[in-house]
Amino acid sequence: MWEVSESTVKRWADSGMIKCRKTVGGHRKFDFNCVLEFENRSGLVARALQAERAAEIDSEIEELLALPDFAELARRYGQVARAGKYHCVAELLTRAYLRGFSLAVISEEILRPAFDEVGEMWRAAKIRVFEEHLATSVTTQALAELHDIVEKKQSQGRLALVGCPDGEIHQVGSEVVRYLLEAEGWTVIYLGPFTPLFTFTDAVNIIKPDLVCISATIVDDLERSSRDYEQLRRAASKHQTRVVIGGQAFNDQQARSRFRGAYHASTVYDLLEFVQQGFQSTG
């Protein structure tokens, strides 16, 4: 039941950890209730039952992927991610990819709704901050692992800067963009979260990338951000760099209007279409 040797059980019994009685012939007899009490007290789990349950879960995930039932997959992903179960998160993403779903589909149909729910639960005080941070942490790790097996296109000879503006702590969206572009054959310089827009401007003037992608969930100071963006827009125009904005912050028309000249990618599908068409869209 616990996948340990007979000698281990004897040692536990002889030390008094698990109660038993000995027969005249020296055999140990264990009362079933004593066995359960020991299991609960010691934190042991019946591994055979655990393995059986794991097999059931694997079968359920495969069924959901075969349908596919993205709503349920996203719900389950959110559960294991909030619990910080890295191996479950990584396994689900890997299985989805090996089933033939692209990184874009995984990101848009599983990750995005899962994190939308995480955000709603946090705003409704149904989860705590550490659970949101756990979900972000394990997802970032799992995406990096998935990226290792994702098929990459031949180098396109193009360079992109990807990151989040100052004050933005939600980095999963920018991580997704990073890996999507690299899979498309781009070289990506990832600036990460908390990158002031004036720093993007400095990077554009020095590195002269083909593309800048900015992901934001919220924009705290729209006036300051729009002023800083105007400098970035001028630098991008000077070096023929295209700018793409995405994330919940830019779902608001008023916010988007302050980032003139930038292409708004409301989904990762929009972003992929934009880069695959060679920047033909003006946004």
Report residue 242: phi and psi, to 5°. Answer: -90, 145
Q: Are residues 178 and 204 in the same domain?
A: yes
Going residue by residue through the chain, which has 283 residues, state the pLDDT in tens, using 9 for 90 and above.
676 788 888 888 988 889 999 998 889 999 888 888 888 777 676 555 555 555 555 788 889 999 999 999 999 999 999 999 888 899 899 999 999 999 999 999 999 999 999 989 988 999 999 999 999 999 999 999 999 999 999 998 999 999 999 888 789 999 999 999 999 999 999 999 999 999 999 999 999 999 999 999 988 788 999 999 999 999 999 999 999 999 999 998 988 999 999 999 999 999 999 998 875 444 3
103 inside domain: yes
Q: Are residues 12 and 60 in the same domain?
A: no
C-alpha–C-alpha distance, residues 147 and 212, integer Å: 21
34 inside domain: yes
Q: Are residues 38 and 93 in the same domain?
A: no
Q: Are residues 98 and 182 in the same domain?
A: no
Identify the domain containing residue 10 by its residue range. 6-42
Q: Is 253 exposed, middle or buried (0-12, 13-18, 19+ CB in 10 A)?
A: exposed
- Stated as kind and residue range, the H or E segment containing 267 is none
pTM of this structure = 0.78
CATH number of residue 120's parent domain: 1.10.1240.10
Q: Are residues 102 and 27 in the same domain?
A: no
Spatial neighbors of 149 by CB under 8 A, at least 6 apart, are 94, 97
Q: Are residues 27 and 134 in the same domain?
A: no
Q: Are residues 178 and 271 in the same domain?
A: yes
Q: Are residues 272 and 163 in the same domain?
A: yes
